[in-house]
Amino acid sequence: MRHQLVALFFVFFVSAGLLISTVTVGQVSSTTEAAYMPPRTPEGQPDLQGIWSNAVLTPLERPDQFADQAFLTEEEAVAYEAQRNDETFRGTRDLDAATDVAYAYNDFWWDQGSTIASTRRTSLVIDPPDGRIPPLTAEGEKRRNARDEYRRLHPADGPEDRLLRERCIVWSGGGDLGAGPPMLPSAYNNNFQLVQTADHILILKEMIHETRVIPLDGRPHLPGSVRQWLGNSRGHWEGDTLVVETRNFTHKTHFQSTSEHMRLTERFTRLADDVLMYEFTVEDPVMLTRPWTAQIPTMKLDGLIYEYACHEANRGMVGLLGGARAEERAAREAANE
């Protein structure tokens, strides 16, 4: 089953990934943060426009090996970056061909970047100070367990049982737990584009062309009765930082085990011509014992974003459900023998 699934995933990714962008990540400029003045739009706002990459090898949560350490020294950073590069699928190229194919992916497909965060932090999570996502509430545990149990019993009864990314609804790294907003890196196409006008900002994620057009005019959020997959976003400027507040999520996304009660605050600050700091805070009083914050220094790309038509070529869903039915038939036949 596992290999079959991997093979089906392979077919899905190949057919769905119509266009994979070829872009190069710029180097962090040596400009100091304090001295940097971002360029301005004709309306006088800080100009955050461009195509940015959030591909980064720093893990979301702090690994055990750095228990009490928030930052790496320069030497440690070099060693850890090498370790992270090793931990991705690069090594499979040295395996024999059959094993390599069974793994399905190597770096020809992955585009997860080759560097850790330029901040040299040991995790993307910066708060709580231990670099870990805070525990769930009792109610949160209950809901998560119910969901896990449902999924265990109904892995592929119908399309609704599959991951949101397999359905081409919301893309995520790390299964449905990664499905945002916010924007976490996934296996490839870790690119997003910001377009600014005087009263709106558009955020286009390359992965499955998730697009948010965000008003900056101070209007209230949509009524709570209106729920959207990507939530409902409102933006404003705090100094040179663009702040985007999003709520009205559905009960069908579970970003890091949050619920429809999630409130998300994203902050975009241009620290250099080629560095846009992306920080987000997740709050969910029903699911989380406290809010948490993560930070990703995103890098300016010299390239374009291309169309990623996911749903239109979703042969993977047909394969996943068809495969599950075939296995059930085989099990029934075996039982009858």
Partner 1 sequence: MRSRLRYFIVVLMATAFLSSCSELAPPADELSPSIPRTATGEPSLDGIWQALTEANWDVRPHAAGPALLPELGTFSAIRPGLGIVEGGEIPYQAWAAEKQQENFANRLELDPEGKCFLPGVPRATYMPYPLQILQTSQYVMVAYQFANAVRTIHMEDPGPSPSESWMGWSVGRWEGDTLVVDVSSHNDQTWFDRAGNFHSDALHVVERYTLMSPDHLLYEATIDDPNVFTESWNISLPLYRRVEENVELMEFKCVEFVEEKLYGHLRKDPSDDVEVNVVGVDPD
Minimum Å distance from CB 209 to partner 1?
A: 5
Q: What number of helices (H) and strands (E) belong to the chain?
A: 5, 10
Q: Nearest distance from residue 142's CB to partner 1, in Å?
A: 9
Contact 166, 310 (CB under 8 A): no
Task: Write out the E strands in 44-199.
Answer: 50-53, 125-127, 191-196
Whole-number minimum distance, CB 86 to partner 1, in Å? 32
Q: Using the minimum distance from each CB to partner 1, give the nearer residue, 218 or 239.
A: 218
The region of 6-14, 107-115, 236-244, 301-309 touching partner 1 under the rule CB under 8 A is 301-309
Applying CB under 8 A, among 120, 151, 236, 267 the residue interacting with partner 1 is 151
Residues in 308-327 at the binding interface with partner 1, rule: CB under 8 A: 309, 311-312, 317-318, 321-322, 324-325
Residues 6+ apart with CB under 8 A from 109: 13, 187, 188
Distances in Å between the Cα of 150 and the Cα atoms of 25, 91, 127, 162, 192 are 41, 36, 31, 12, 33
Q: Return the sign of the alpha-carbon dihedral for residues 63, 69, 70, 75.
A: negative
Closest separation in Å from C-beta 33 to partner 1: 26
Using CB under 8 A, which residues numbered 14 to 33 contact partner 1? 18-19
Site string for partner 1, 31-70 (x = CB under 8 A): -----------xx-----x---------------------
Least CB distance to partner 1 at residue 118 (A): 26
**Residues 129-156 as b or e (16 or more Cβ within 10 Å = b):** eebebeebbeebeebbeeeeeeeeeeeb
**Number of residues this chain uses to bind partner 1 (CB under 8 A):** 59
Name the one residue in this structure whose structure tokens are 């992955």: 110
Q: Does 236 bind partner 1 (CB under 8 A)?
A: no
DSSP state of 257: G
Residue 260, φ and ψ in degrees, nearest 5: -65, -10
* Tokens 């899905």 belong to residue: 12
* CA-based end-to-end distance of the chain: 21
**Touching partner 1, residues 174-233 (CB under 8 A):** 193, 195-197, 199-200, 202, 204, 209-211, 213, 215, 219, 222, 226, 228-230
Residue in 156, 271, 288, 301 binding partner 1, rule: CB under 8 A = 156
Residues that bind partner 1 (CB under 8 A): 18-19, 42-43, 49, 143, 146-147, 150-151, 154, 156-161, 167-169, 193, 195-197, 199-200, 202, 204, 209-211, 213, 215, 219, 222, 226, 228-230, 251-252, 254, 259-260, 286, 304-307, 309, 311-312, 317-318, 321-322, 324-325, 328
